[in-house]
Structure 1
Amino acid sequence: MADAHNPATAEADADATAYVRGGMQINEQAATFKLFMDLAKWGSLAVACLLLFLTLWFHPGGNLMAALAGAVVLGGVGFFALKPKADAGH
């Protein structure tokens, strides 16, 4: 027979009463989110440059130098468009 003084949910009930909304430090979560967003942003630029390079190089009549120039231009424009802004620190 179950003990009436120690129900199965006693630990969960204690955790629920100890929780205070908005009282948790979220430094690690914020850092992880920022890292994910940065990797997604710069990774997308790298994939776009690689895709442009390969497309311009291997299409009929394409050459290596035109592909390299296009990828470098896209990378340069993308870098300046995606770099962090000076006033972005909240």
Structure 2
Amino acid sequence: MADYHRGEMDIQEQASTFHAFNLMAKWGSLALSAVLTSLVLWFCTSAGFLGGLIAGVIVAVAGVFLLKEKPQAH
């Protein structure tokens, strides 16, 4: 069995999995918040379907604008 040497292990797969999980959590949270906003306004207020839909679209568009990844400068 090989001896362990700190810092010599390839962690590319773990880093890719961590990045993918963060992306899914981020975009899934945005989708959930847009859907919940629409449904709450549709069923729990007098805004109705159209008011809920407009608010949900606004939340989704603002979220996409704020959450998209910025290009990294090297």
Same fold (TM over 0.5): yes
- The alignment covers a number of residue pairs equal to 74
State how far apart, in whole Å, the 2-side matches of 1:54 and 1:88 are: 40
Equivalence for 2:43: 58
Letter of the 1:87 partner, please give it: Q
Structure with higher Rg: it is: 1
- Residue 8 of structure 2: which of 23, 31, 44 is its match? 23
Shift of 1:60: 3.6
Alignment map for 1:1-90 (pairs within 5 Å): 14-15=1-2, 18-87=3-72
Equivalent position SS for 2:35 = helix
Which structure is higher in RCO with an 8 Å CA cutoff and minimum separation 6?
Answer: 2
Equivalent position SS for 1:78 = helix
Shift of 1:27: 0.5
- Alignment RMSD, CA only? 1.6
Gaps of 5+ in 2: none
Deviations 1:8-64 (A, max 9, x none): xxxxxx45xx11100000000000000000000001001100110001100142311
Scaled by the length of structure 2, what TM-score is found? 0.91
Gaps of 5+ in 1: 1-13
Q: 1:51 to 1:86 in 2, by over 3 A?
A: same
